[in-house]
Amino acid sequence: MTTANNLPDGNGPLAGVKVLDLSWIVAGPTVGRALADFGATVIRVESPIRVDTARVVGPFHGDLPGVENSGLYGNVNAGKWGLTLSLNVPEAQDIFRRLVRWADIVSESFTAGILARWNLDYPHLRELKPDLIMLSSTLLGQTGPYNQVSGFGSQGAGMSGVQYLTGWPDRSPAGPFGPYTDYPAPRFALTALLAALDHRNRTGEGVFIDQAQAEGTLQLLAPALIDYLNGGPALDARGNDDPQMCPHGVYRCRPPMGRAESWVAIAVADNDQWRALAEVIGANPELPLAHRREIQKEIDAAISAWTSTRFVSEVEEALQRVGVSAHRLSTTEDATNDPQLAHRDHFRRLPHSLHGETVIEGPRYILSEAPVEPARPAPQYGEHNVQILKGVLGLSDAAIEDLAASGALS
């Protein structure tokens, strides 16, 4: 079945929802990927001149860097249609305005004020489509003294305090892996977009969503912030320590043949779990949490002595059997063979016109009555230009040639 715009319908609860995705790197594209997973028709609009950073970040097909080889880009943009527009060209701006009339949602992550220079910000776009929903996702939001600060999720992690809190108390901050705010931010944005769609369906009104990724990430620190504002201590880096769990750490195991290292994470949440762990490792089972925290180094040493003589599979099996949380620290090889990920069909293989086949992660959300399969791999540069310009906007071959000559598509 095809829609009137000549793009195949998606499958799922969002079928019929039309999205223009101008976002880039990870945070914004992840939102569009989730919408596409559940049936929305998502057109990924990107500039062929200012390359999306995600296109030059690995892993790469065949370990060959290239703008069409990035596994990261392919993962967060699967299921979308691709259109190249150079929005600094007036003819491209006109095409974009026509697509806005087609769309239900516009998602973008330009620095605050950029779209306004081209009269493509929400106040101008809602004149074209009064019930338009627009998501602007930036590091620190559209307003305020720092609204012009741009950057990646690693800067957002620093601004939100997460970078400082991740590390050991006697060392410099280590920070979480990668551009951290790029990962919680899409979950907030997706929820807001679904709420906006519901609001529009009930009222007919459009919605503008101004997301500040660093502020959204602050919500993850809300208990610590509230505690501090009410006279409690400031949260500080504490490595693997946890105030409500002890022991709570990572312990070296006996490495299997061919492996240099092997580690297991163990967390004890209550006194019953401690008794179970103590019985296994030969410790005093009647130590309350406060006492365990006082002698935490001795407990960690006892656990390490026990785990270091055993393979990680032995440790997992022995502790999980008695109700203690224990799991190996996975390598990439471990993850690709993990039975839990295999059960949930986490890694999906899709045919790819350039690479023959590509691998992406499956949808993050599984609905019992709406199973989904990503419809297509991420678009190559301009892969669907003609299909979109003809099928959605009804342009002729001559009009498309004129657009290309103007520089709007390149």
Q: Could you read off the pLDDT tens digit of each residue along the chain, which spans 410 residues? A: 334 457 888 889 999 999 999 999 999 999 999 999 999 999 999 998 899 999 999 999 999 999 999 999 999 999 999 999 999 999 999 999 999 999 999 999 999 999 999 999 999 999 999 999 999 999 999 999 999 998 889 999 999 999 999 999 999 988 888 899 999 999 999 999 999 999 999 999 999 999 999 999 999 999 999 999 999 998 899 999 998 999 999 999 999 887 888 999 999 999 999 999 999 999 999 999 999 999 999 999 999 999 999 999 999 999 999 999 999 998 887 888 888 899 999 999 999 999 999 999 999 888 888 878 889 999 999 999 999 999 999 999 999 999 999 999 98
The span from the CA of 118 to the CA of 73, in Å, is 27
Are 235 and 221 a contacting pair, CB within 8 Å? yes
- Residue span of the structural domain in which 393 resides: 18-219+344-406
CB neighbour list of residue 383: distance below 8 Å, 6 or more residues apart: 81, 82
CB neighbour list of residue 233: distance below 8 Å, 6 or more residues apart: 227
Q: How far apart are the first and last CA of the chain?
A: 32
The angle that helices 397-406 and 90-102 make with each other, rounded to 10 degrees, is: 130
- The confidence score (pLDDT) of residue 365 equals 83
**CATH no. for residue 139?**
3.40.50.10540
The span from the CA of 355 to the CA of 68, in Å, is 9
- Give the 3-state secondary structure percentages of the chain, helix then strand then coil, rounded to 5: 40, 15, 45
CB-CB neighbours of 233 under 10 Å: 8
- The confidence score (pLDDT) of residue 177 equals 84
350 lies in the same domain as 282: no
- The confidence score (pLDDT) of residue 11 equals 87
256 lies in the same domain as 381: no
The span from the CA of 340 to the CA of 195, in Å, is 31
Looking at 282, 314, 336, which one is the last position of a domain? Answer: 336
Phi and psi at residue 214, in whole multiples of 5°? -65, -40
Structure tokens at 299: 């407990």
62 lies in the same domain as 199: yes
308 lies in the same domain as 390: no
- For residue 6, being part of any structural domain is answered with no
Q: Nearest to residue 277, comparing CAs of 326, 330, 240? A: 326
399 lies in the same domain as 317: no
Looking at 277, 305, 336, which one is the last position of a domain? Answer: 336
Looking at 303, 336, 369, which one is the last position of a domain? Answer: 336
Number of structural domains the chain divides into: 2
Are 259 and 312 a contacting pair, CB within 8 Å? no
Are 265 and 319 a contacting pair, CB within 8 Å? no
- Burial label for 222, CB within 10 Å (0-12, 13-18, 19+), is exposed
Phi and psi at residue 176, in whole multiples of 5°? -70, 165
Which DSSP category does 8 fall into? Answer: B
181 lies in the same domain as 292: no
180 lies in the same domain as 324: no
254 lies in the same domain as 365: no
- Burial label for 203, CB within 10 Å (0-12, 13-18, 19+), is exposed
298 lies in the same domain as 356: no
Dihedral sign computed on CA atoms, order 113, 114, 117, 120: negative
62 lies in the same domain as 82: yes
DSSP letters, 90-154, are: HHHHHHHHHHHHH-SEEEE-PPTTHHHHTT-SHHHHHHH-TT-EEEEEESS-SSSTTTT----HH
Phi and psi at residue 272, in whole multiples of 5°? -65, -45
308 lies in the same domain as 190: no
175 lies in the same domain as 45: yes
